[in-house]
């Protein structure tokens, strides 16, 4: 992988990081410069083509543009995608399933390659479920840890949650769970976290039925959360 030092102000080739809506019904056109950039580039690194292409076509992107799909088996994009884009010095865009690529989603390998190739990397403003949940939680945003998904195996999961809960006394802890297991995680946190620790549940952010609620663990009751993306934040006020 070549290592070139290029002044980004003079760089003509760019990798744009395009934010994707968190909820499918969210208006994609709200994000500044989104459509203009999308129509400019001809190569897109995407997490799933079936999710990205309809939005791209709605803003006038040609159906003939190249979409390179993330391969979960190798946890990267296929090597031929890198070769096509970077060898031809073509500008490109990076999109995740929702929110910002590279933040709790695939994308960092594309960004790493772009930096090494002397590209200007330009992130556009848009939604990130982590920062939206944190800002709406009322918990400290000065220092926080994002953990991603808890383990599934019971013993590892219990140890993981104990570690997260212990750390929440010092700084805000953020974790997420799959829609199918979110209700279970809520119940586990209510059962094992100290009653005076604050728990925030940020459910289906930006959707019409989304909500954010923060209160001491003692005030939470188990509930069936609708199957939608949910984040959990633990901390002190």
SS3 29: helix
Angle between helices 108-116 and 79-87 (to 10 degrees): 40
Cα 121 from Cα 14, distance rounded (Å): 6
In the prediction, which pLDDT does 127 show?
A: 85
Q: Which residues contact 83 (CB under 8 A, 6 or more apart)?
A: none
Q: Which residues contact 197 (CB under 8 A, 6 or more apart)?
A: 165, 168, 169, 216, 217, 234, 235, 236
In the prediction, which pLDDT does 28 show?
A: 58
In the prediction, which pLDDT does 4 show?
A: 45
Place of tokens 């946890």: 75
**Cα angle vertex 16, ends 13, 22, to 5°?**
170
Low pLDDT (below 50) residues in the chain: 1-10
Cα 184 from Cα 167, distance rounded (Å): 21
In the prediction, which pLDDT does 2 show?
A: 43
N-terminal to C-terminal alpha carbon distance within the chain = 47
**Cα angle vertex 76, ends 72, 78, to 5°?**
100
Contact indicator for 46, 69 with CB cutoff of 8 Å: yes
């Amino acid at each position: 992988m070549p290592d070139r030092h290029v002044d980004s102000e003079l760089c003509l080739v760019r990798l744009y990081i395009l934010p994707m809506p968190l909820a499918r019904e969210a208006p994609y056109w709200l994000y500044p410069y989104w459509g203009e950039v999308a129509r400019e580039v001809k190569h897109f690194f995407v997490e799933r083509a079936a999710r990205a292409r309809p939005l791209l076509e709605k803003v006038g992107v040609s159906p003939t543009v190249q979409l390179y799909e993330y391969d979960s088996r190798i946890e990267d994009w296929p090597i031929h995608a890198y070769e096509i884009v970077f060898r031809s010095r073509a500008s490109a865009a990076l999109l995740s399933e929702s929110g910002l690529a590279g933040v709790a989603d695939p994308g960092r390998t594309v960004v790493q390659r772009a930096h090494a190739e002397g590209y200007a990397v330009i992130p556009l403003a848009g939604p990130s479920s982590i920062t939206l949940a944190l800002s709406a939680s009322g918990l400290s945003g000065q220092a926080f840890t994002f953990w991603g998904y808890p383990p599934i195996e019971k013993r590892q999961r219990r140890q993981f949650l104990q570690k997260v809960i212990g750390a929440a006394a010092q700084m805000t802890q953020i974790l997420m769970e799959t829609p199918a297991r979110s209700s279970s995680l809520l119940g586990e946190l209510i059962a094992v976290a100290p009653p005076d620790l604050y728990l925030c549940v940020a459910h289906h952010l930006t959707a019409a039925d989304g909500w954010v609620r923060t209160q001491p663990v003692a005030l939470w009751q188990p509930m069936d959360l609708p199957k939608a993306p949910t984040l959990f934040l633990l901390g002190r006020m």
